[in-house]
Amino acid sequence: MEFRIEGMSSKVRKAVFPAAGLGTRFLPATKAQPKEMLPLVDKPLIQYGVEEAIHSGMNNIIIVTGRGKSAIEDHFDVSFELEHMLETRGKRDTLAQVRSISDMIDVSYVRQKEALGLGHAVLRVKELVGPEPFSVVLSDDVIDAEIPCLQQLLEIHSFYGASVVALMEVDGPEISSYGVVNADPIAHPGLGDHSLYRIHNLVEKPKQGEAPSNLAIIGRYILTPEIFESIEAIAPGSGGEIQLTDSLKHLLRSRPIYGLKFEGKRYDAGDKLGFLKATVEFALKRHDLGAPFRQYLKSLSL
Ligand code: G1P
């Protein structure tokens, strides 16, 4: 039976961005530069995620960084030299863009000294987050959506007062690259029949043929604070890492977890082909670049 837990959910203000990974899928570009700073058209990947969080009402950004990630901190900091240069050259529009991002948010940084897994990264923010629900955003999953994906998850979270993960159907052998859920669809006002799921089990990166379904977890989560105890309780899993998926499985013993097949298009920008697709489609949508870029693409004899 589904029921609404009144008063269980407080506002989600904090968005956590794990960004301490080594970016091996994008070498050599990521040898001396964090993958989160790779530009999609003209904005670094992580900024798309941060803007999604802001548009979903979360201004408190917590970035979990590792070694060699200082470019991320500089990006969200005020750059007096750059602002001064833009001001003296009269570049008002660019100045406004550069300022808007550092003005809108309150960013904190936590260090993850070793890349021991996504669960391990999330556990690093336990003190900063405290006893309130929070979101986790994996910035190499870029989602283009009319209603930001995080906001779609928030609506479910505030209805049920429970943790919610983003889901997408993935067919074929690629399913083994994801956390995969075993879940039953449930009815929810305003959503289609197979949009919202009650999760019964989760498996991180199942072997081919062992996936419990074709429903993959995509990098957007709203988590209740009990997740921290679950992360502390689990042993290393897939790849010898502390997996967030395994901690969600542990959390299921005491709390319900929901999965939402969100509306929108997701790009795997941590993968070279996915990154190229995102670049082309985002450029085509830009009012300043779309028309000449379309013309250029048409001129290629493909
Ligand atoms: C992580 C999660 C996985 C999830 C995926 C989504 O894996 O561990 O459960 O499905 O993100 O992008 P990663 O891509 O970091 O290996």
Query: Is 13 inside any structural domain?
Result: no
Q: Which has the closest alpha carbon to 12: 213, 151, 128?
A: 151
CATH number at residue 179: 3.90.550.10
Q: Quick one: 291 exposed, middle or buried, by C-beta within 10 A (0-12, 13-18, 19+)?
A: exposed
Within 8 A by CB and 6+ apart from 193, the residues are 185, 187
Pocket of ligand 1 (CB under 6 A): 118, 138, 141, 178-179, 204, 216-219, 243-245
Residues 223 and 281 in one domain: no
Measured CA to CA in angstroms, residue 2 lies from 33, 156, 190 at distances of 46, 12, 16
In this prediction, residue 278 carries a pLDDT of 98
- Look up residue 53 and give its two tokens: 């969080």
Which residues, 6+ apart, have CB-to-CB distance to 184 below 8 Å?
A: 197, 198, 200
- Name the residue of 118, 149, 203, 238 to mutate for ligand 1: max ligand atoms within 8 A of Cβ: 118
pLDDT at 10: 67
**Same domain for 254 and 182:** yes
At a CB cut-off of 8 Å and minimum separation 6, what does 240 contact? none
Here the tokens at position 236 are: 């290393």
Residue 198 lies in a domain: yes
Kindly tell me the burial class for residue 147, based on how many C-beta atoms sit within 10 Å of its own C-beta (0-12, 13-18, 19 or more): middle
pLDDT for res 93: 84
Q: Minimal CA–CA distance to 62: which of 15, 9, 101? A: 15
213: Cβ–Cβ under 8 A, 6 or more apart, which residues?
A: 180, 181, 182, 183
d(Cα 60, Cα 105) in Å, to the nearest integer?
6
Mark whether 189 and 144 lie in a shared domain: yes
User: In whole angstroms, what separates CA 118 from the centre of its chain?
Assistant: 12
Residue 73 lies in a domain: yes
Asked whether residue 143 is domain-assigned, the answer is yes
Residue count (the chain) = 302
Domains held by the chain: number: 2
Report how far apart, in Å, the C-alpha atoms of 291 and of each of 145, 286, 294 are.
21, 8, 5
Residues 199 and 290 in one domain: no
What is the residue with the minimal CA distance to atom 11 of ligand 1?
Answer: 219
Contact 32, 78 (CB under 8 A): no
258 phi and psi, to 5 degrees? -110, 155
- Tell me: do 212 and 264 sit in the same domain: yes
The answer to whether position 252 is within a domain reads yes
Ligand 1 geometric centre to CA of 289 (Å)? 32
On whether both 174 and 292 belong to a single domain, the answer is no
How many angstroms separate the alpha carbon of residue 179 from the centre of ligand 1?
6
Closest to 113 measured CA to CA, from 59, 145, 66:
66
Is there a single domain that holds both residue 283 and residue 241? no
- End-to-end distance of the chain based on CA atoms, in angstroms? 54
Does residue 133 sit within a domain?
A: yes
What residue's CA is closest to ligand 1, atom 13? Answer: 178
101 inside domain = yes
Residue 141's domain comprises 18-270
**Pick from 230, 213, 235, 225: nearest CA to 167:** 213
Q: Which residues, 6+ apart, have CB-to-CB distance to 73 below 8 Å?
A: 63, 65, 109
Same domain (yes/no): 277, 147: no
Residues 130, 213 within the same domain? yes
Do 192 and 301 belong together in one domain?
no
pLDDT value of residue 103? 76
Ligand 1 nearest atom to the CA of residue 21, by list position? 15
pLDDT at 2: 42
Tell me, yes or no, whether 5 lies in a domain. Answer: no
Cβ burial of 128 (10 Å; 0-12, 13-18, 19+) is middle
Cβ(141)–Cβ(45) below 8 Å: no
Same domain for 82 and 137? yes
User: What atom in ligand 1 is closest to the CA of residue 179?
Assistant: 9
| pLDDT digits (tens), the chain, 302 positions | 444 444 444 689 999 999 988 888 899 998 888 999 999 999 999 999 999 999 999 989 999 998 777 899 988 887 777 788 888 888 888 888 777 777 778 899 999 988 899 999 999 999 999 999 999 999 999 999 999 999 999 999 999 999 999 999 999 999 999 999 999 999 999 998 899 999 999 999 999 899 999 999 999 999 999 999 999 999 999 999 999 999 999 999 999 999 999 999 999 999 999 999 999 999 999 999 999 999 999 999 88
Q: Are residues 265 and 275 in the same domain?
A: no
At 79 the pLDDT is: 76
